[in-house]
A and B are shown apart, each in its own frame.
Chain A
Amino acid sequence: MLRIKNLEAGYGKLRVLKRISLHVNPGEIVTLIGANGAGKTTLLSTITGLVRATAGEIVLKGQNIETLKAEKIVFRGCSLVPEGRQVFATMSVRENLVLGSYVQHRQGKEQLREGIEYIYDLFPVLRERKAQLAGTLSGGEQQMLAMGRALMAKPALIMLDEPSTGLAPLVVKNIFRIIERLREEGNTVLLIEQNAKAALKVADRGYVLETGKIILEGQADELLANRDVQRAYLGRDVKEN
């Protein structure tokens, strides 16, 4: 589905990503974990074309996309749920969803309605709040809206940037349950998380990013059991010496 080879990117002179390689197979949840400032958001921005790659390749469904503009990449089937949600605050919940289907403009009114119904089934709270302005939703509701909005594009690959940040444990659980449900329905997910434990529990595979480099990769359960990962990301103090 997605294959990244020796990708480099940064801001001006600052090199943030250093020869990143990773891949996501169709139908799997892949998680990328890493500390603050590791470059996780930068990686997603580079995949979506908001930040330009300076070297390397990004291949989505067999086609190179690293030189395409952000709006073209969405049309190729790759949707982002950005860090901090970034819902359209002055628009209603429903309008946010309709805008999410922007790339699906060839679909008819009926299909649009069905698409919205599907999202409401996934996130019933959104149905209750469909006329409310997105800016007045709670953090958890905004996260659900951001996910629903991204799903409206019917993406082949959905990328989530720290969906659990700032949410109560119960809401986090709910979000992760929905991510699992997305896989059950055949979606492909690239999940970025600080909450490494929860992420590795739902994921099939994982990568660990540290200061712009992938330092570890493997099956999710292997990573969960890995001492380095445990020490650095799971908050478990493994005594050495």
Chain B
Amino acid sequence: MKRHLPLALLVLTAIGVQQLTHATGTAFYLTPLTMAAYYSLVIVGLCLLMGYAGQISLGHAGFFAIGGYLSAMLTTRDLTPYQDNPVLVLLDKLGCTVTGQDMFGGAVLHVHPWAAFACAILITIAVAYGIGIPVLKLKGHYLAMATLGFGIIVYRLVLASPLFGEADGISEVPAFPLFPGLAVSGGFESRVSNYYLAWGMVACAMWLLANLIHSRVGRALRAIHGAEDATNAMGVNTARYKLNTFVISAVLAAVAGIFLTHYNGGIGPSEAGIMKSVRYVAIVAIGGMANLWGALVMGSLLNIMSLRGMFGSYDDAVFGLILIVIMLFAPRGLLGLSLPQGLKRLLKRGE
């Protein structure tokens, strides 16, 4: 019962906020709120990986970008020149394509967003396993370095590849019709439905993750964090647990990337940047590492502030600074903070 209380609170808050914006005529807030929800999805996934399984990743913006970019590319690229390609014919038969019109009224052929979604997720899973199997053998700084390397590769790839629009990114990404009556799009008229969709997904993710953490699996994960060999000696397949957690968090990041890209109607290389990964890590740290709800609260707040431009052009600097300050004063997160203790620590250090 105790476990469902925060979830109920989340749902009520989401509804309350929407009602508030409606009542005060500030519905424009719903846009950053929706975007923040998707970023929160990345953050809670990363929180599972970092806080519970104890594996750091400085490459999660990479997974976000893989999802977003693949979906954007597949749903915007005109496939008419390849119409006779047998693969495309098959896709067509399976109903995985859509025809549309370009700016000049010419007929164009795209991959259907659902097919693009499936493709992007499958590739994310493949990449996550491919990266995870060798990399998760590493620990601490080495793991951080390796995932950082992965993040840099993704960033440079999208920046260099014409397929992904180089420095401009991909725009004109169409809406994603999830099912009749609900599409992921940034359109004015679907602002409320998209707000609820995004936060509904966050609630689902929280429900799943909270259950996972309180299960036998979650207990094993927390143990891995403490003493890996000892956990292994308890009969826990630690390698597989770490890997699967890594993949789950990668998929959450990719899903967030896909949805946010369709919501925004585009994606640019900054989404793949290292500073994005650092930001996710910083937020998980502020939330208190092994604290899903802390990560969610902090993630929503900071992302909304950032999206509203409150940090101005010092956006990235702010998150870097936050990371340093948290590590110094409140390694257990802002919510677990007791200020006198933090000061004492610092004074001791100075001695």
Cβ distance A165 to chain B, nearest Cβ, rounded Å? 16
Cβ distance B50 to chain A, nearest Cβ, rounded Å? 14
Cβ distance A144 to chain B, nearest Cβ, rounded Å? 15
Interfacial chain B residues near A95, Cβ < 8 Å: 219
- The closest CB in chain B to the CB of A104 belongs to B235
B79 on the interface (CB 8 Å rule)? no
Interfacial chain A residues near B234, Cβ < 8 Å: 74, 99-100, 102-103, 149, 153
- The closest CB in chain A to the CB of B241 belongs to A71
Interfacial chain A residues near B290, Cβ < 8 Å: 90
A88-B230 in contact (CB<8A):
yes
- The closest CB in chain A to the CB of B219 belongs to A99
Residue-wise interface mask of A (3-39) relative to B, using a CB-CB cutoff of 8 A (1 in contact, 0 not): 0000000000000000000000000000000000000
- How many residues of chain B have a CB within 8 Å of chain A? 19
Interfacial chain B residues near A100, Cβ < 8 Å: 234
Give A70 to B226 CA distance when docked, in angstroms: 18
B236 on the interface (CB 8 Å rule)? yes
- The closest CB in chain A to the CB of B228 belongs to A86
B232-A50 in contact (CB<8A):
yes
CB within 8 Å of A: which B273-320 residues: 290
- The closest CB in chain B to the CB of A81 belongs to B233
Give A89 to B223 CA distance when docked, in angstroms: 8
| Residue among A70, A82, A91, A100 with max Cβ neighbours from chain B (10 Å) | A70
Cβ distance B46 to chain A, nearest Cβ, rounded Å? 19
Interfacial chain B residues near A46, Cβ < 8 Å: none
Interfacial chain B residues near A118, Cβ < 8 Å: none
Interfacial chain B residues near A90, Cβ < 8 Å: 222, 225-226, 290
A80 on the interface (CB 8 Å rule)? yes
B227 on the interface (CB 8 Å rule)? yes
A89-B216 in contact (CB<8A):
no
- The closest CB in chain A to the CB of B237 belongs to A71
Cβ distance B170 to chain A, nearest Cβ, rounded Å? 43
A69 on the interface (CB 8 Å rule)? yes
**Which 10 A-B residue pairings sit nearest by Cβ, starting from the closest?**
A74-B235, A86-B230, A103-B235, A88-B226, A86-B227, A71-B237, A88-B223, A70-B232, A80-B233, A71-B235
Q: List 24 A-B contacts (CB under 8 A).
A: A48-B233, A50-B233, A69-B237, A70-B232, A71-B235, A71-B237, A75-B235, A82-B229, A82-B230, A86-B227, A87-B227, A88-B222, A88-B223, A88-B230, A88-B231, A89-B226, A89-B227, A90-B226, A91-B219, A91-B222, A98-B219, A99-B219, A102-B234, A103-B234
Q: B residues engaging A (CB < 8 A)?
A: 216, 219-220, 222-223, 225-227, 229-238, 290
Q: A residues engaging B (CB < 8 A)?
A: 48, 50, 69-71, 74-75, 79-80, 82, 86-91, 95, 98-100, 102-103, 105, 149, 153
Q: A88-B223, A153-B235 are in contact. List 15 more A-B contacts (CB 8 A).
A: A50-B229, A70-B233, A71-B232, A71-B236, A71-B237, A82-B229, A82-B233, A86-B230, A87-B230, A88-B222, A90-B225, A91-B219, A91-B222, A99-B231, A99-B236
